A and B are shown apart, each in its own frame.
Chain A
Amino acid sequence: MSRYARLEPHIPHLRRYARALVRDVEQADDLVQDCLERAMSRWHLWRPTGSLRAWLFTILHNLHVNAIAKQARRGTSLPLDTVPTPAEAPVQHDRTQVSEVVAALDQLAPEQRRVLLLVALEDFTYAEAAAITGVPIGTVMSRLARGREALRQITGQSGASGGLRRVK
């Protein structure tokens, strides 16, 4: 079980990411278990020079991409222009804000959500997030910027300043 022992320290982080990504506890844990099984069965593909954590997140990422593809685009993301901006800036109660952000996550395009969570929640560098998601670093940056701005729009955090509806 030495492989499992090496994977074990990463499991809580994989679960946190998966939970934020798919929200449903069972589906998220299924994703992590698939990831662990795949990692164990493809151990020979991991290069000891690389970060085991990044490798595991890469596997999880690919599994999620495949799962989303299978779901036949269950939820399409809302174009920003159709997202209503609240007339008044909401009072920022912590708890409300947390649940608002979490709810707003679901409205992001999956590729924006993944990058945002890898960077903001899992503290990966932009280069690591690029390697994990298999896109250039510039794409990571634009997805991150657009994801964050979309979240801000959806949660109405931009209401106070009154402007900037559109994301670059």
Chain B
Amino acid sequence: MNPAQLDEATLQAFVDGQLDDGERCAVEALLASNPEAAARVRAYRAQTAALHAAFDPVLDEPVPVGWRTPRRRGATYLGQVAAAVVLLLVGGAGGWWANDRLGGPNDGAANFTGEAALAHRVYTKEVRHAVEVAADEEAHLVAWLSKRLDAPLAAPDLTGRGYELVGGRLLPASAGAAAHLMYENEAGDRLTLYIRTNREGGETAFRFEQDGAVSAFYWLDGPLAYAVLAEAERETLLPLARAVYNELSP
């Protein structure tokens, strides 16, 4: 092959059909007198055909329905969680609402509910900046928070109970990061769902706490710890918390 006549880039572009008509005709003429280059062109085109033959069937595979929502990472965990859907009561209520004990030796449930209550109090008062990502970007919100917590999150649908998702935000927490989802009903009552990594392990618990006007149900579920909070009576919050629990731990 005479490189002055047929350079490598032109040959590749010829193979890929990326030349205009004039250039293509010129290359064809050169190939007629250059069997070595012509053999290469044939081989390269056969490669392209082989690649399509091998991988085009993938185009016809239906997209898995599950891809519409972010992955639930660690799917094997779900089996364990399902088996462990037993409502345990965790003893030792000392230190509840101990907001000032962040990072202390009792870095467990007390911190968790304390931080959840703090987040609830701070952000439910906000009118304009209650959330960082609004509900109209729910898929993005859930994907983002799942990524940051490195665990599968979901935003429970509470519309059946009169609560719409307002949105959510990422929060710093003593265990790294926490996800904060906010819901609101027509009356303007707000409910928050606080989710953090469950560092204590896979036990499943469901527990009620009250601090002043704020009520909270919380539980540990596999990789995550959840708290549902609202300024409401226990009896009012319980069905909402159960609805959240049922959605997240089917």
- Chain A positions within 8 Å of B, measured between CB atoms, are 1, 3-4, 8, 11-13, 15-16, 19-20, 29, 33, 36-37, 40-41, 43, 92, 94, 97-102, 105, 117, 119-121, 125-126, 141-142, 144-145, 148-149, 151-152, 155, 157-158, 160-161, 163-164, 168
Contacts and interface: CB of A to CB of B under 8 A. Distances in A.
A160 B55 contact: no
Given A12-B61, A37-B146, 13 more contacts: A1-B139, A15-B61, A16-B58, A19-B55, A97-B46, A101-B46, A101-B54, A121-B48, A121-B51, A125-B18, A161-B39, A164-B36, A164-B40
B236 to A, nearest CB: 32
Which of B48, B53, B58 counts the most A-chain CB atoms under 10 A from its CB?
B58
Contacts of A16: 55-56, 58-59
Give chain B's interface residue range (CB within 8 Å of chain A): 35 or more
- Majority SS of interface residues in chain B? helix
Contacts of B63: 8, 11-12, 15
A152 B54 contact: no
Contacts, number: 110
Contacts of A144: 12
A142 B71 CA distance: 38
A120 B143 contact: no
A148 B140 CA distance: 40
B71 A98 contact: no
A157 B147 CA distance: 46
B8 interface: yes
A163 B140 CA distance: 55
A61 B169 CA distance: 29
Given A1-B68, A145-B12, A151 B47 contact: yes
Contacts of A155: 47
A24 to B, nearest CB: 13
5 nearest A-B pairs in the assembled complex, by CB-CB distance? A101-B50, A157-B43, A16-B58, A120-B48, A12-B59
Contacts of B147: 37, 41
Interface in B19-78: 35-36, 39-40, 43-44, 46-48, 50-56, 58-61, 63-64, 67-68, 70-71
